[in-house]
Structure 1
Amino acid sequence: MKLVVRVKLLPTPVQAAALEATLRACNEAATWAASVAFEKEARRPLELRKHTYAEIRVRWGLGAQAAQHAIKKTCDAYTTLKANLRAGRYGRPGTRRHIRAAGKPVAFRPLAAQPYDDRMLSWQHQARTVSVWSTAGRLKNMAFTGQAEQLEFLAAHRKGESDLVCQGGKWFLIATCEITEAAPNSHPAGFLGVDLGIVNIAATSDGARHCGRRINRKREQDRKLRSKLQKKNTKSAKRRAKKYAGKEARRNKDINHKISKRIVAEAERTGRGIALEELTGIRERARLRKPQRTTLHSWPFAHLGSFIAYKAKRAGVPVVYVDPAYTSQECSQCHHTARANRPSQAVLSCRVCGFVDHADHNASHNIAHRGWMAWVCGAQSTAPELTLIAGVLDAAEPVTASDDSSSKPGHSRPGS
């Protein structure tokens, strides 16, 4: 399977200027190629290369490999756009947002990431330096740094392309690493059900609840601050908004890493698989009150699911996805399903057998049961094939998760 390691570059001012000029040239060329692809409807690499390769080489002074990557990046962007349009992420066909997304060429940010292959980038792991191609020539002896575990992993497993990225004025290389997967557990002792929600981000059938109350309060404060700065619209407000840009996303990713790591470790320790909800299209199906909509649309549930999937794949833990319909209204003891079983958001009280439990815990048991039944009926692990995971390796993550189980339980889960 493939993972990535992000290492920080330490360029001199001259090298940094050359890297910036290189990214700008590559992205200008890719944006122009995207307009040609849109005009001529040539969105395959070979077909687009016939129209753009020679001019990109002459007009922007890119090398052969850089020009090839700019063209391929353009085609990949159109492939992604087509998939997003088909999945409904820009609304339904005919809506203003859908028309705006499909009716104009793709454009790249001036400092968007640029892929580098082994012909354009070479690593000297002992000296901790890299040699990078640029429009100003080869930049040699550029230092890089990172955590010791990451650098050891990079030296042992790096294979394939690396992306040059500029974030907040700092330069990074995101390097692809190929690792051997653990032998999958073909005879799990059972399944650990995971119920995803808003008040409780994740609740497992073992009784663990990763509470999101404190997280949601902090996110609400961030939204209010962002709105206040946008309304003020002064230079200092813009400077402060830029400082805090991406802070919430980084916090969410860190929390999802911790939660997923704990869930996978528990499943591996007990020899079980993991059963997750299939939440594709949840934003279209869920009907929530207005105050809950922002929380639903902003929390990265798919991100958490992908983290669980790839960590499980590394550990050899099978993962299956089940239909989440009515898991919060179904009694996990007698399996009677009725809306009346939910007297409140946090409690399930079965009208037939009288069983009472926390709604999230009950739903996770139903998910675990459905996961086991799917496995018995012949379903194999449906963890998606991972290509890249943005961020750092698990070796740099804390082992413990932010679990606030002592707070009062609450429940507001999407889609059921």
Structure 2
Amino acid sequence: MKTVVQVKLEPSACQADALAATLRACNRAANRASVVAFESGEHRRNGLHHRVYRDLRESSDLSAQPVVLTIKKVCDAYATLKANIRAGNLGPKGSKRRNKAESKPISFREDAAQAFDDRCLSWNTDGRTVSIWTTAGRLKAIGFVCSEGAAKMIADHRQGESDLVFRDGSWYLFATCDIPAPPVTQPTDWLGVDLGIVNIATTSDGQVMSGRRLERYRKRMRALTAKLQAKKTKNAKRRLKAVKRRERRFATDTNHCISKTLVQTAERTSRGIALEDLTGIRERVKAKHDQRYRLHSWAFAQLGAFVQYKADRAGVAVVHVDHRNTSRQCSACCTHKANRVDQATFACRACGMTMHADDGGTSRPKAGGGSRNIRHRAADAWQRGAANRPSAA
């Protein structure tokens, strides 16, 4: 199981300047290689290497291995673009977004991340230092900070390349670690999780993770954003970027807390986790103008990814079920659109059962809302082999 460990570097002023100059040199070289790849149509690593290697070595301050890694970055970028086009993520053929992506070479920011392998970067986890190649020579004993668990993970399981990242005025290294995943325990039951905006997650046990705090925060950020956009100054634009990053961090922290709670609950009770398959929901749902911001800022994909990797590390099974009619179905009798009275209320038109639309209450096990229906569907999906079922412990 691959995971990424982030450590924060503590370079001196001179070391930080050398790191910044290295990123600029690598990304300028990547832009030159990208133009050649676009014009020639050569996106294979070996083919592009023969076309641009000599030129990049002569026209930049990069040594051999950084040039090789830069060419690899360009090829990976074009491979990602091709995959997004094939998956339809940039729209159908002829769409404005797809035409824009296909009509010009991929460009790299001057401070974009750069990968370094073991020839350019070495770790000393005991001394909490790294040695890294730069255009100003090799910098040794650059300190970094991280938790004890992260340092041990890097020492024991780090593999492949590490990315040098400059973000919000600080320097980071992202190390890829390959950790042996524990065997997935055969679940005795399922914890159904209904995802939403008002209530970010509601479990079949009746536990509700409300999104009110996050909504209030986003409301304040929207008001601040509107004021800054009206100013149209350079400082206002810088502040807008900072506000956007702060809001993203707040939402990410919320999703981390919720996913941790869900996985711990399932692990403690020897159950699996059942989630809705919400792939492509933004394209399917038609929202009013004043609701689009709430819909598009709903980070359900991130929450699902957090649940998945935390569950993998804990040996908890995760299954995705069909999301359709989970909050309109009465598990005691029928499914009808009118059963969903409003956002919070479920009232079956056939049997008269009323309850909360998401959790379904706890008084009647067979009559439930969205999360209970998700729980019931999970057992069928697991038995049919709809999920990639690992071997049981």
TM-score by length of 1: 0.88
Secondary structure of the residue aligned to 1:308 is: helix
Contact 1:37/1:48 (8 A) holds in 2: yes
Residues 336-359 of structure 1, C-alpha deviations (whole Å, 9 max, x = no match): 111111121211111112221211
1:283 aligned residue: 282
Q: In structure 2, what is the Cα distance between the partners aligned to 1:382 and 1:363?
A: 24
Report deviation, 1:171.
0.8
Residues 204-235 of structure 1, C-alpha deviations (whole Å, 9 max, x = no match): 11111111122112112212212221220234
Contact 2:382/2:389 (8 A) holds in 1: no
Q: In structure 1, what is the Cα distance between the partners aligned to 2:298 and 2:315?
A: 27
Show the 5 A alignment for 1:262-301.
262-301=261-300
Report deviation, 1:236.
4.1
1:368 aligns with 2:375: yes
Q: In structure 2, what is the Cα distance between the partners aligned to 1:228 and 1:95?
A: 33
2:232 aligned residue: 233
2:189 aligned residue: 190
Show the 5 A alignment for 1:316-331.
316-331=315-330
Aligned letter for 1:128?
Answer: R
2:54 aligned residue: 54
Higher alpha-carbon deviation: 249-258 or 125-134: 125-134
Q: Which residues of structure 2 form unaligned runs of 5+? A: 360-368
1:377 aligned residue: 384
Report deviation, 1:155.
2.4
Contact 1:191/1:275 (8 A) holds in 2: yes
Q: Which residues of structure 1 form unaligned runs of 5+? A: 384-416
Q: In structure 1, what is the Cα distance between the partners aligned to 2:317 and 2:57?
A: 48
Report deviation, 1:46.
1.4
Report deviation, 1:260.
0.5
Q: In structure 2, what is the Cα distance between the partners aligned to 1:274 and 1:81?
A: 33
Report deviation, 1:200.
0.8
Aligned letter for 1:178?
Answer: D
Aligned letter for 2:114?
Answer: Q
Aligned letter for 1:365?
Answer: R
Contact 1:129/1:142 (8 A) holds in 2: yes
1:178 aligned residue: 178
1:143 aligned residue: 143
Contact 1:319/1:381 (8 A) holds in 2: no
Alignment match of 2:341 (pick from 319, 340, 343): 343
Residues 261-308 of structure 1, C-alpha deviations (whole Å, 9 max, x = no match): 110111111111111111111111112222221111112111100000
Secondary structure of the residue aligned to 1:360 is: coil
Q: In structure 1, what is the Cα distance between the partners aligned to 2:51 and 2:195?
A: 48
Aligned letter for 1:192?
Answer: L
1:102 aligned residue: 102
Contact 2:202/2:208 (8 A) holds in 1: yes
1:411 aligned residue: none
Higher alpha-carbon deviation: 374-383 or 127-136: 374-383
1:400 aligned residue: none
1:153 aligns with 2:153: yes
Report deviation, 1:244.
2.8
1:391 aligned residue: none
Q: In structure 2, what is the Cα distance between the partners aligned to 1:103 and 1:195?
A: 41
Q: In structure 2, what is the Cα distance between the partners aligned to 1:366 and 1:193?
A: 8
Alpha-carbon spacing, 1:382–1:26, altered in 2? closer, same or farther (3 Å): farther
Q: In structure 2, what is the Cα distance between the partners aligned to 1:189 and 1:219?
A: 39
Larger RCO: Structure 1 or Structure 2 (Cα < 8 Å, ≥ 6 residues apart)? 1
Report deviation, 1:378.
2.8
1:311 aligns with 2:318: no
Aligned letter for 2:278?
Answer: L
Alpha-carbon spacing, 1:95–1:239, altered in 2? closer, same or farther (3 Å): closer
Q: In structure 2, what is the Cα distance between the partners aligned to 1:277 and 1:364?
A: 9
Contact 1:114/1:164 (8 A) holds in 2: yes
Secondary structure of the residue aligned to 2:358 is: helix
Aligned letter for 1:49?
Answer: H
Contact 1:260/1:304 (8 A) holds in 2: yes
Q: In structure 1, what is the Cα distance between the partners aligned to 2:217 and 2:88?
A: 30
2:29 aligned residue: 29
Secondary structure of the residue aligned to 1:333 is: coil
Q: In structure 1, what is the Cα distance between the partners aligned to 2:238 and 2:341?
A: 48
Q: In structure 2, what is the Cα distance between the partners aligned to 1:220 and 1:44?
A: 46
Q: In structure 2, what is the Cα distance between the partners aligned to 1:319 and 1:279?
A: 14
Alpha-carbon spacing, 1:242–1:345, altered in 2? closer, same or farther (3 Å): closer
Q: In structure 1, what is the Cα distance between the partners aligned to 2:312 and 2:136?
A: 42
Alpha-carbon spacing, 1:109–1:37, altered in 2? closer, same or farther (3 Å): same
Report deviation, 1:382.
6.5
2:363 aligned residue: none
Contact 2:163/2:173 (8 A) holds in 1: yes
Contact 1:318/1:381 (8 A) holds in 2: no
TM-score by length of 2: 0.93
The size of the alignment, in residue pairs, is 381
2:366 aligned residue: none
